[in-house]
C-alpha cells in the first residue's frame, strides 16, 4: 500500500489510468445557505396614550442593491394588531401566509372574539422559537403593535432566535442603534406613555425615519406608517414620502473619500 | 512513486490524489458562518435564604451586545400560580443567560408544577420540584437550555430553600448563589457577607489560630439590604446589569414582589 492515505481505496493510476474525477462529488458536503438574501431594514414603533405608531420603509434590498422599492413590510392582522417585519423578505412572505391562514381559522372558529396583539405576539414567538430550535430559522425580527386584551397599547419584539421583549419604544436593525435613543426621549418608561399624544408619537417616528434615511445605506424615503387605536382600528398608509429632508449637513462632511477641499 | 502517481499531469511533482481535490480543511475553508441558535441577553440574578424566608432577585435589563433591548424584562418568576397574577404560587424561579430558553424553561416547569397539583391533589414540594428541574435541564443535555437557573421556596420544615443549577442540570442546595453576567462580581461579596468567609474574631489567636466568625442565618431586612448593595455595585462595574432590581420574597404568607430602580446608564 502506498503511503498516501488519500489514495487508499482508489483505483491505482498506473493500472487504470488517471481517475476521472468528474464522477466524484466535490470534497465537502453540500451546505444550505443560512443567511438572509432579500432583506428589509429597520422597523420603528412607539406607544402613546391610546395606541401605537409603527413605521417601516418600502425597500427590499438584495445585498447592497436597492432591489424592490414598493415592498409592504407592515402587515395588518385584524383591526387590533399589525406586524412590522425586518430581515428576510421571503421568510416574511411565508409568515404572512401563515398569519393569513391563522386569521381564516380564527374567523371561522370564534364568534365575535378576535385575537389581540398579545395573542399574536405569543403565537409568533412560539413559531420563531420552534424554528430556531430546529436550526432552521425564519430570518426576521418583528415588532407586533396593537392593543392587548384590555385594549391597552401593546408593543413587543420577536427575533429569529425566539427572543422576545417589550418596551414603550422599539426599533429593529439599524434603528436599534440610531432611532431607539431618539425615541426614548419621547417615552423612556412605561409610566411616561400616558403623557405621549398621538401627534407627538407620529412626529417622533417620522423624524427617526428621516434620520435613518440619512444614515442607513439600505433605506428608502418611501415608507409605510400605521396608527393603531381602539377608536380608529388600524390606520395604515403604505406610500408615504419622507418630508422636510435637508442635506445641508452633507457639505460639512469631510473624509470618506471626499477630499479636504473641494 | 512515478509508476503510481506520475500519470496525473497536474500533480507530477506533488503527491497525487486520484480524486478532484486535496483534502478539504473545513476549519480553514469554511467561510460561511452557520446559524448559531444561542445569544446572551446579559443580566444577573441572586438568591439568598434565611431562617424562614427565601429571596430571589434579578435586574430587569435585557441586552444584545452593547444595545439595551428593554429596561424591564423580568428574570424572576412565580411558579405554579395563576397565569396572569401569579397568585397562589409557592415556588420562585430565576433564569439568566439566553432569554428565549429561559422563557421556554419557565413555561415548562410552570406547566409541570400545575399538572402535579391537578394529578396528585397537593402542591409539589420544593425538593421534588428542584429534582424535576434538574431532569428537565438534563433532558436537553445535547441541545441545552443556555441558562443558569436558581429555584427557591420553603422546605418541609418551613425553612428557606434555595437550589442552584448549571445549564445541563447539575444542582445543589445552598444558602446563597449569584448567577449571570455579574456572578463573578457578586458571589465573592456574598461569600464574605453571608457566609462570613475570611472573617475572624479579633483577639482569638495569632495568625492561623484566629477563630473564624460563625455564619448564622440573616434576618430578612439585612438580606434585602445585601441584595440591593450587591446589585448597585454590580451595576457600577458591569455594563449588562442595571435599569431595575426585581426581588421576590417567599415567606409562609406567600410571595411578595419588590422593585427598586437601578442606574440606567
> Which chain A residues contact residue B8 at CB under 8 A?
13, 18
**A162:B5 CB<8 A:** no
| Nearest neighbour of A34 by CB, restricted to B6, B34, B264 | B34
Q: Does B31 touch chain A (CB under 8 A)?
A: no
Please count the helices (runs of H) and the strands (runs of E) in chain A: 6, 13
Interface of B with A in 179-238 (CB under 8 A): none
Q: Does A17 touch chain B (CB under 8 A)?
A: yes
> Which chain A residues contact residue B18 at CB under 8 A?
7, 10-11, 13, 18-19, 21
Burial tier of B114 (Cβ tally within 10 Å: 0-12, 13-18, 19+) = middle
Q: Which residue, A256, A166, A163, A180, is CA-closest to B37? A: A163
pLDDT reported for residue B3? 45
pLDDT reported for residue B202? 92
* Confidence (pTM): 0.86
pLDDT reported for residue B16? 58
Q: Does A149 touch chain B (CB under 8 A)?
A: no
Question: With helix as H, strand as E and coil as C, how does B58-114 read?
Answer: EECCEEECCEEEECCCCCEEEECCCCCCCCCCCEEEEEEECHHHHHHHHHHHHHHHH
Q: CA-to-CA distance for B143 and A91, rounded, in angstroms?
A: 25
Q: Does B67 touch chain A (CB under 8 A)?
A: yes
Pairing of strands A222-229, A51-57: antiparallel
pLDDT reported for residue B6? 44
Which residue is catalytic, options A33, A41, A69, A172? A33
CA angle A71, A76, A80 (to 5 degrees): 160
Per-residue pLDDT of A117-127, as tens digits, reads 999 999 999 99
The Cα of B44 is separated from the nearest Cα of chain A by a number of Å equal to 17
| Nearest neighbour of A135 by CB, restricted to B15, B35, B98 | B35
Residues of chain B with pLDDT under 50: 1-12, 28, 30-32
Whether the predicted interface score ipTM is above 0.90: no
The Cα of B220 is separated from the nearest Cα of chain A by a number of Å equal to 30
* 8 Å CB contact between A114 and A149: no
> Which chain B residues contact residue A133 at CB under 8 A?
37, 143
Interface of A with B in 118-137 (CB under 8 A): 129, 132-133, 135, 137
Q: What is the mean pLDDT of residues A124-133?
A: 97
**B23:A27 CB<8 A:** yes
For a pLDDT cut of 70, what percent of chain A falls above it? Answer: 93
Query: Could you tell me which chain A residue has the CA closest to the CA of B24?
Result: A27
Grid look-up 411616561 returns A192
Confidence of residue A261 (pLDDT cuts 50, 70, 90): low
Is A33 in the active site? yes
Q: Which residue, B25, B9, B13, B16, is CA-closest to A4? A: B16
Q: How many CB pairs under 8 A join A and B?
A: 111
Q: What is the mean pLDDT of residues A103-131?
A: 93
The CATH architecture assigned to B45-261 reads: 4-Layer Sandwich (3.60)
What domains lie within chain A, and their CATH numbers?
38-234 (3.60.20.10)
> Which chain A residues contact residue B103 at CB under 8 A?
164
pLDDT reported for residue A250? 80
Confidence of residue A169 (pLDDT cuts 50, 70, 90): very high
pLDDT reported for residue A136? 92
Q: Is the pLDDT of residue A20 over 80?
A: no
The Cα of A2 is separated from the nearest Cα of chain B by a number of Å equal to 9
> Which chain B residues contact residue A6 at CB under 8 A?
15, 17, 19, 22-23
Q: Does B21 touch chain A (CB under 8 A)?
A: yes
Per-residue pLDDT of A140-149, as tens digits, reads 999 999 999 9
Q: What is the mean pLDDT of residues A173-192?
A: 96
pLDDT reported for residue B93? 98
Q: CA-to-CA distance for A35 and A27, rounded, in angstroms?
A: 22
Grid look-up 428576510 returns A88
> Which chain B residues contact residue A4 at CB under 8 A?
15-17
Q: CA-to-CA distance for A199 and A257, rounded, in angstroms?
A: 40
Q: CA-to-CA distance for A249 and A252, rounded, in angstroms?
A: 5
**B99:A189 CB<8 A:** no
Q: Please, what is the average pLDDT of chain A?
A: 91
Count of CB atoms within 10 A of residue A12's CB? 15
pLDDT reported for residue B19? 53
pLDDT reported for residue A42? 97
| Nearest neighbour of B37 by CB, restricted to A21, A135, A177 | A135
The Cα of B101 is separated from the nearest Cα of chain A by a number of Å equal to 8
> Which chain B residues contact residue A26 at CB under 8 A?
20-21
Q: Is the pLDDT of residue A23 over 80?
A: no
Q: Does B7 touch chain A (CB under 8 A)?
A: yes
pLDDT reported for residue A13? 79
Q: CA-to-CA distance for B200 and B194, rounded, in angstroms?
A: 14
Q: Is the pLDDT of residue A99 over 50?
A: yes
Q: Does B23 touch chain A (CB under 8 A)?
A: yes
Domain boundaries, chain B: 45-261
Per-residue pLDDT of A33-76, as tens digits, reads 478 999 999 999 999 999 999 999 999 999 999 999 999 999 99
Confidence of residue A14 (pLDDT cuts 50, 70, 90): confident
pLDDT reported for residue A35? 86
Q: Does B140 touch chain A (CB under 8 A)?
A: no
Best of A12, A18, A45, A166 to mutate (most B CBs within 10 Å, chain B): A18
> Which chain B residues contact residue A177 at CB under 8 A?
67
Amino acid at each position: 500500500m502506498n503511503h498516501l492515505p488519500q489514495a487508499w481505496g482508489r483505483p491505482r493510476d498506473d493500472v487504470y489510468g488517471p481517475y476521472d474525477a468528474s464522477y466524484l462529488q466535490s470534497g465537502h458536503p453540500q451546505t444550505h445557505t443560512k443567511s438572509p438574501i432579500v432583506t428589509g431594514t429597520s422597523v420603528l414603533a412607539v406607544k402613546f396614550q391610546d395606541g401605537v405608531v409603527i413605521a417601516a420603509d418600502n425597500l427590499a434590498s438584495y445585498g447592497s442593491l436597492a432591489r424592490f422599492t414598493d415592498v409592504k413590510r407592515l402587515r395588518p392582522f385584524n383591526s387590533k394588531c399589525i406586524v412590522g417585519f425586518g430581515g428576510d423578505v421571503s421568510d416574511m412572505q411565508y409568515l404572512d401566509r401563515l398569519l393569513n391562514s391563522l386569521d381564516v381559522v380564527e374567523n371561522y372558529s370564534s364568534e365575535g372574539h378576535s385575537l389581540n396583539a398579545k395573542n399574536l405576539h405569543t403565537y409568533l414567538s412560539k413559531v420563531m422559537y420552534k424554528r430556531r430550535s430546529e436550526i432552521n430559522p425564519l430570518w426576521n425580527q418583528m415588532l407586533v403593535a396593537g392593543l392587548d386584551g384590555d385594549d391597552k397599547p401593546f408593543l413587543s419584539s420577536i427575533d429569529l432566535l425566539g427572543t422576545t421583549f417589550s418596551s414603550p419604544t422599539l426599533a429593529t436593525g439599524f434603528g436599534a442603534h440610531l432611532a431607539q435613543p431618539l425615541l426614548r426621549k419621547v417615552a423612556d418608561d412605561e409610566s411616561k406613555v400616558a403623557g405621549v399624544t398621538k401627534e407627538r408619537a407620529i412626529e417622533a417616528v417620522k423624524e427617526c425615519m428621516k434620520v435613518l434615511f440619512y444614515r442607513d445605506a439600505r433605506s428608502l424615503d418611501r415608507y409605510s406608517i400605521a396608527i393603531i387605536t381602539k377608536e380608529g382600528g388600524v390606520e395604515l398608509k403604505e406610500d408615504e414620502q419622507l418630508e422636510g429632508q435637508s442635506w445641508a449637513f452633507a457639505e460639512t462632511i469631510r473624509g470618506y473619500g471626499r477630499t479636504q477641499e473641494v | 512513486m512515478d509508476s503510481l502517481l506520475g500519470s496525473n499531469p497536474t500533480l507530477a511533482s506533488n503527491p497525487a490524489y486520484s480524486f478532484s481535490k486535496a483534502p478539504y480543511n473545513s476549519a480553514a475553508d469554511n467561510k460561511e458562518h452557520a446559524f448559531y441558535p444561542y445569544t446572551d441577553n446579559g443580566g444577573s440574578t441572586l438568591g439568598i435564604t434565611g431562617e424562614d424566608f427565601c429571596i430571589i432577585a434579578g435586574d430587569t435589563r435585557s441586552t444584545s451586545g452593547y444595545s439595551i433591548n428593554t429596561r424591564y424584562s423580568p428574570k424572576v418568576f412565580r411558579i405554579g400560580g395563576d397565569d396572569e397574577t401569579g397568585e397562589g404560587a409557592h415556588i420562585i424561579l430565576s433564569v439568566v443567560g439566553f432569554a428565549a430558553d429561559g422563557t421556554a424553561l419557565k413555561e415548562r416547569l410552570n406547566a409541570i408544577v400545575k399538572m402535579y397539583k391537578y394529578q396528585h391533589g397537593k402542591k409539589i414540594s420544593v425538593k421534588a420540584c428542584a429534582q424535576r428541574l434538574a431532569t428537565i435541564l438534563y433532558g436537553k443535555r445535547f441541545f441545552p437550555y443556555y441558562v443558569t437557573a436558581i429555584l427557591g421556596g420553603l422546605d418541609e420544615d418551613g425553612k428557606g430553600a434555595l437550589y442552584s443549577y448549571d445549564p445541563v442540570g447539575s444542582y445543589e442546595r445552598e444558602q446563597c448563589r449569584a448567577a449571570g453576567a455579574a456572578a463573578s462580581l457578586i458571589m465573592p461579596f456574598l461569600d464574605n457577607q453571608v457566609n462570613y468567609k475570611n472573617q475572624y474574631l479579633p483577639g482569638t489567636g495569632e495568625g492561623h489560630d484566629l477563630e473564624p466568625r460563625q455564619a448564622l442565618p440573616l434576618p430578612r431586612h439585612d438580606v434585602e439590604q445585601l441584595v440591593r448593595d450587591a446589585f448597585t455595585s454590580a451595576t457600577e462595574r458591569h455594563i449588562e446589569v442595571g435599569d431595575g432590581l426585581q426581588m421576590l420574597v417567599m415567606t409562609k404568607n406567600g410571595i411578595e414582589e419588590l422593585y427598586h430602580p437601578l442606574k440606567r446608564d
